[in-house]
Chain A
Amino acid sequence: MTDTGNKDPGAKFSEWLNSANEFWGSMGKIWQDSLQTGCASATQDKSDNGGNQKGWESAFRMWRLFASVLAEPSFAGTFLKGINAMPDTFLKVAGTGLTGFLQFYQQWQEKAGRMGKNTKAYSFDHLDQEMFTAWKELYEQEIRQFLKIPQFGLLRGYQERFMEGLDDFNIFQSSMGEFIHLLSLPIEKSFNVLQQQLEELEKNGEFPSDPHEIYRLWVKILEGHFMTLFKSSEYGESLARALKDMGLFISAKDNFLHDVLQSLPIPTNKDMDELYKDLYLLKKKVKELDKKFAAGSK
């Protein structure tokens, strides 16, 4: 990964534009090629497709042209001069945000380039969860601090609890995303293995004629993948993290709602829990005394 932390914002900005331009340029080429292949083989609506394609091509050319102009160092300088005129604090915010975003963007690009490479069947060790760690790092380093800014005044407690809820929600979303992604991996891997097994069967002239057999084969492969995933420490840790973060978020949400409910004539969980505990202890005591009394009267 390129270290973007030491460069000036102008260089970062043009670097991002250039890399974006390259990435979307190559993606655009792939789509264009596939569109052309599709058009050549199609027999109907040729004119329509041609029209759409032309429009799309021209829009794409415009975007690349626009982006390449923006990426020129001279333009970036002018653009950033304008930014320099803004208050220092805002610049600092924008600067750190931009750094984090660029890091995340680069990691995401690298990850996108590697997509499909890590598809070893029945293996979930050392999973590449970089997408999620990148987002989490970006969030924790660049965004979270704004939610942690000390609050002032009469309502500071309420604001703080609201911010805490927001913060825990973001962390929970990230952990849950990672967990759900893990759960989706066996499906992706099972299709790959199925494909390989079908190829083998085809080579041996044993390709099943009954589609149900293919389904049964897939379910069996899927089951095997899930079992392997569930036994991996990565899954256990991710599950525990998701549950813990969910717990923290629900607690924070409850604290916030407690504030809201205080202004309404409705008892909160906290109020009720205190009452329930008293009731529980009281009942226990009465039952004990009742038993003692019954034993004594015999």
Chain B
Amino acid sequence: MEAPRIPVDLILSKLAEDTEKFHERVKKGSDVLLDKLDTQIATTPYDIEYEEDRVKLKHYRPVTESSLKTPLLIVYALINRETMLDLQPGRSVVQSFLEKGIDVYMVDWGYPTRKDKFITIDDHVNGYMDNIADYILKKHKVKKINLMGICMGGSFCVMYSALHPGKVRNLITTVTPTNFETDQGLLHIWMKHIDVDSLVDTFGNMPGDMMNFGFLILNPARLMIDKYVGLLENIGDKTFVENFVRMEKWIFDSPDVAGETFRQFVVDCYQKNLLIQSKMMLGDQRVNLKKITMPLLNIYGRYDHLVPPAACDLLSSKVGSKDVQDDCLETGHIGIYVSSRVQNKLVPRIVKWLEERDTIKKTKRKKAATKTAKKAEEKVVFKRKIKGAAV
């Protein structure tokens, strides 16, 4: 009989080597885990400037002079928390915006409790968001704000811009689902089967942990097995462990979603796909995408398994604006905000796009620059004249 061609000696020596490494790792790992770890998230300083029910408005303290006249309001999704945009110094979208001179406001939706189960999308968009926008407009004495939405928060921003076009100067949507009629993402497939009425009637609010479990089983091999194998392999690396814990803190910090909001989002968006058809109703108002006439920058990830490109890229052809740009980045749903590689592209891209459109300030700046240049020229001419007269 032919002997099996398995390099047993190599495998055994590799295993022995690994066992040795494992012992070393366990020792280092216990040192790391017992040591003081810096795992804080959302450390960029901010002030709470507006509060309504459980909703808060964070205003980040500027670190440099504003480069734009119009402040930027960021609206995060109701699923997970906005802390993802400020995970850690050096990997913080918020911090990068501040460094580029953007005045940043961000909505913190808080943790809905049972009493919030009746709150609808209309309450979120025409209530909280509109009140927050009014507060910023009044404070800055401007007529419009720049609006940036993330995921479901992006969908809210699309709805808001369609219903209040007069208050939005520029709209930026990132990984924002607007077209739900696609079988590219598993969420889109599963949501078609879900009896959302039964879920909401049973739970009141949609439990965050249940949704998180749903996200985990989108890819259990990677998210429930390989991820933790990766942690074990790097358990001796303090920086790796700190980053890992930060990410875990963020992932499993999942507020419940207000029941009526969840019900409408699943039925009207996932099951009936009303938003992209301009048929969605908020209260007694129809969300007509043609009313979105302000410039739109639509950013999404090519490898996004939660909100695939097909769920995002239809928006630009449905809005009324003529200044529309789609930007597909080579990354996934979360990578767009937390990967250092992508972050180095994302923030400068948004800032440049905003600067090109923040016309009032730019014209003023240009005028000021021309004025200064003219003055300087006049001075030179005057000096020359004096010199000439003296000669």
Q: Do A and B come from one complex?
A: yes
Name the CB-closest residue of B to A245: B198
**Residues in A neighbouring B220, C-beta threshold 8 A:** 183, 226
Query: Of A183, A223, A279, which is in contact with the most chain B CB atoms at under 10 Å from its CB?
Result: A223
Q: Are A211 and B14 neighbours in the complex by a CB distance under 8 Å?
A: yes
**Residues in A neighbouring B217, C-beta threshold 8 A:** 183, 230
Neighbour of A250 across the interface among B183, B203, B226, CB < 8 A:
B203
Neighbour of A223 across the interface among B5, B117, B201, B222, CB < 8 A:
B222
Q: Are A276 and B221 neighbours in the complex by a CB distance under 8 Å?
A: no
Q: Are A237 and B193 neighbours in the complex by a CB distance under 8 Å?
A: yes
Q: A230 vs B123: C-alpha distance in the bound complex, in angstroms?
A: 34
Chain B 171-216 interface residues, beta-carbon cutoff 8 Å to A: 183, 186, 189-190, 192-195, 198-199, 201-204
Chain A 179-238 interface residues, beta-carbon cutoff 8 Å to B: 183, 202-203, 205, 207, 209-212, 215, 219, 222-223, 226-227, 230-231, 236-237
User: Is A248 in contact with chain B by the CB < 8 A criterion?
Assistant: yes
User: Is A239 in contact with chain B by the CB < 8 A criterion?
Assistant: yes
**Residues in B neighbouring A215, C-beta threshold 8 A:** 229
Q: A236 vs B165: C-alpha distance in the bound complex, in angstroms?
A: 39
Q: Are A251 and B190 neighbours in the complex by a CB distance under 8 Å?
A: no
Q: A247 vs B10: C-alpha distance in the bound complex, in angstroms?
A: 54
Q: A251 vs B53: C-alpha distance in the bound complex, in angstroms?
A: 28
Q: Mark B107-119, 1 if CB is under 8 A from A, else 0.
A: 0000000110111
User: Is A244 in contact with chain B by the CB < 8 A criterion?
Assistant: yes
Name the CB-closest residue of B to A190: B221
Name the CB-closest residue of A to B117: A276
Name the CB-closest residue of B to A249: B202
Q: Are A202 and B221 neighbours in the complex by a CB distance under 8 Å?
A: no
**Residues in B neighbouring A230, C-beta threshold 8 A:** 186, 189-190, 217-218
Q: Are B221 and A211 neighbours in the complex by a CB distance under 8 Å?
A: no
User: Is B34 in contact with chain A by the CB < 8 A criterion?
Assistant: no
Q: A188 vs B140: C-alpha distance in the bound complex, in angstroms?
A: 61
Q: A71 vs B372: C-alpha distance in the bound complex, in angstroms?
A: 110
Name the CB-closest residue of A to B118: A280
**Residues in B neighbouring A231, C-beta threshold 8 A:** 183, 186, 189
- Chain A interface size band reads 35 or more
B202 to chain A, nearest CB (A): 4
Name the CB-closest residue of A to B195: A244
Q: Are B193 and A276 neighbours in the complex by a CB distance under 8 Å?
A: no
Q: A287 vs B134: C-alpha distance in the bound complex, in angstroms?
A: 14
User: Is A272 in contact with chain B by the CB < 8 A criterion?
Assistant: yes
By a beta-carbon cutoff of 8 Å, the part of chain B in contact with chain A is 4-7, 10-11, 14-15, 18, 53, 114-115, 117-119, 123, 127, 183, 186, 189-190, 192-195, 198-199, 201-204, 217-222, 225-226, 229
In the complex, the 6 A-B pairs of residues with the closest C-beta atoms, listed nearest first: A209-B10, A247-B202, A240-B193, A223-B221, A247-B198, A222-B221
- 26 A-B pairs within 8 Å (CB atoms) are namely A202-B4, A202-B6, A205-B5, A209-B11, A211-B14, A212-B18, A219-B222, A222-B221, A223-B221, A226-B220, A230-B186, A231-B183, A239-B190, A240-B194, A244-B198, A247-B202, A247-B203, A248-B198, A250-B203, A251-B201, A269-B114, A273-B114, A273-B117, A279-B115, A280-B115, A287-B127
By a beta-carbon cutoff of 8 Å, the part of chain A in contact with chain B is 183, 202-203, 205, 207, 209-212, 215, 219, 222-223, 226-227, 230-231, 236-237, 239-240, 243-244, 246-248, 250-251, 269, 272-273, 276-277, 279-280, 283-284, 287
Question: Besides A210-B11, A223-B219, 18 other CB < 8 A contacts?
Answer: A205-B5, A207-B5, A209-B7, A210-B14, A219-B226, A226-B221, A236-B190, A236-B193, A239-B193, A248-B198, A248-B202, A250-B202, A251-B201, A272-B115, A273-B117, A276-B115, A279-B115, A280-B118
